[in-house]
Amino acid sequence: MSGKPRLTYLNGRGRMESIRWLLAAAGVEFEEIFLETKEQYEKIIKDGSLMFQQVPLVEIDGMKMVQTRAILSYIAGKYNLYGKDLKERALIDMYVEGIIDLMQMILMFPFSPPEAKEKNLDSIKERATNRYFPVFEKVLKQHGQDFLVGNKFSWADVQLIEAILAVEEKVPAVLSGFPQLQVFKIRMSNMPTIKKFLQPGSPRKPPPDEHYVETVLKIFRK
Amino acid sequence: MAGKPKLHYSNGRGKMESIRWLLATAGVEFEEQFIEKKEDLEKLRNDGYLLFQQVPMVEIDGMKMVQTRAIGSYIAAKYNLYGKDLKERAWIDMYVEGTTDLMGMIMYLPFQPADTKEKNLALIIERATTRYFPVYEKALKDHGQDYLVGNKLSWADIHLLEAILMAEECKPDILSAFPLLQAFKGRTSNIPTIKKFLQPGSQRKPPTDEKTVAMVKKIY
Neighbour count for residue A173 (Cβ, 10 Å): 8
- Least CA distance to B98: which residue of chain A? A52
Residue B1 confidence (pLDDT): 46
Q: Is the peptide bond before A56 cis (omega within 30 degrees of 0)?
A: yes
Phi and psi of A64, rounded to 5°?
A: -100, 90
Residues B108, B39: one domain? no
B65 contacts A98? CB cut-off 8 A? no
Which whole-number Å values give the CA distances from A83 to A112, B44, B48, in the listed order?
37, 28, 25
Say which CATH number the domain at B39 has: 3.40.30.10
Residue A49 predicted with pLDDT over 80: yes
> Is residue A147 domain-resident?
yes
> Is residue B220 domain-resident?
no
Question: Residue A184 sits in which domain range?
Answer: 86-191
Is residue A187 within 8 A of residue A146, CB to CB? The reply is: yes
Strands B6-10, B57-60: parallel, antiparallel or unpaired by DSSP? antiparallel
Residues B161, B117: one domain? yes
Residue B220 confidence (pLDDT): 87
Say if A78 is an interface residue toward chain B (CB within 8 Å): yes
Q: Helix, strand or coil for residue A96?
A: helix
Say which CATH number the domain at A147 has: 1.20.1050.10
pLDDT band at A155 (very low <50, low <70, confident <90, very high): very high
Q: Across the interface, which of B51, B73, B135 has its CB nearest the CB of A98?
A: B51
Non-local (6+) Cβ contacts of B200 within 8 A are: none
Rounded to the nearest angstrom, the gap between the alpha carbon of residue A86 and the centroid of all alpha carbons in its chain is 23
Neighbour count for residue A111 (Cβ, 10 Å): 12
Q: For residue B163, give the nearest of B171, B32, A97 by alpha carbon.
A: B171
Residues B21, B36: one domain? yes
Residues B91, B180: one domain? yes
Residue A2 confidence (pLDDT): 59
Amino acid letter, residue A127: R
Amino acid letter, residue A183: V
Residues A113, A173: one domain? yes
How many Cα neighbours within 13 Å face the side chain of A192? 3
Residues A110, A185: one domain? yes
> Is residue A218 domain-resident?
no
| pLDDT-flagged residues of chain B (< 70) | 1-2
- Least CA distance to B131: which residue of chain A? A52
Partners of B96 on chain A (C-beta within 8 Å) are 70
Is residue A154 within 8 A of residue A202, CB to CB? The reply is: no
Is the ipTM above a cut-off of 0.90? yes
Say if A49 is an interface residue toward chain B (CB within 8 Å): no
Maximum separation of any 2 CA atoms in chain A, in Å: 52
Strands A6-10, A31-35: parallel, antiparallel or unpaired by DSSP? parallel
Return mean pLDDT, chain A: 97
When scoring A66, A87, A89, A94 by the number of chain B Cβ atoms within 10 A, the one with the most, hence best to mutate, is A94
> Is residue B115 domain-resident?
yes
Which whole-number Å values give the CA distances from B168 to B162, B163, B178, B189, in the listed order?
10, 8, 13, 14
Rounded to the nearest angstrom, the gap between the alpha carbon of residue A137 and the centroid of all alpha carbons in its chain is 20
Run of H or E residues at B86: helix B86-108
CA distance B83 to B69: 16
Residue B150 confidence (pLDDT): 98
- What is the arithmetic mean of pLDDT over A123-140? 98
Residue A221 confidence (pLDDT): 84
Residues A97, A127: one domain? yes
B51 contacts A135? CB cut-off 8 A? yes
- What is the arithmetic mean of pLDDT over A119-141? 98
Phi-psi region of A9 (alpha: psi -120 to 50; beta: other; left: phi over 0): beta
pLDDT band at A132 (very low <50, low <70, confident <90, very high): very high
Amino acid letter, residue A8: T
Higher per-residue confidence, A20 vs A222: A20
CA distance B8 to B15: 11
Say if A206 is an interface residue toward chain B (CB within 8 Å): no
- What is the arithmetic mean of pLDDT over A17-26? 98
Q: How many domains does chain A have?
A: 2
Cβ contacts below 8 Å, chain A against chain B, sum to: 79
Residue A115 confidence (pLDDT): 96
CA distance B136 to A127: 37
Question: Residue B55 sits in which domain range?
Answer: 6-79
> Is residue B126 domain-resident?
yes
Say which CATH number the domain at B108 has: 1.20.1050.10
Residues A51, A100: one domain? no
- What is the arithmetic mean of pLDDT over A38-51? 96
Return mean pLDDT, chain B: 97
Neighbour count for residue A130 (Cβ, 10 Å): 10
CA distance B179 to B170: 19
CA distance A189 to A211: 28
> Is residue A1 domain-resident?
no
When scoring A45, A49, A51 by the number of chain B Cβ atoms within 10 A, the one with the most, hence best to mutate, is A51
Amino acid letter, residue B122: A
Non-local (6+) Cβ contacts of B138 within 8 A are: none
H-type alpha helices, chain A: 17-25, 38-46, 68-78, 86-108, 114-127, 133-143, 155-170, 179-189, 192-197, 210-220
Q: For residue A207, give the nearest of A80, A110, A67, A138 by alpha carbon.
A: A110
> Is residue A71 domain-resident?
yes
Residue A222 confidence (pLDDT): 73
Non-local (6+) Cβ contacts of A169 within 8 A are: A207
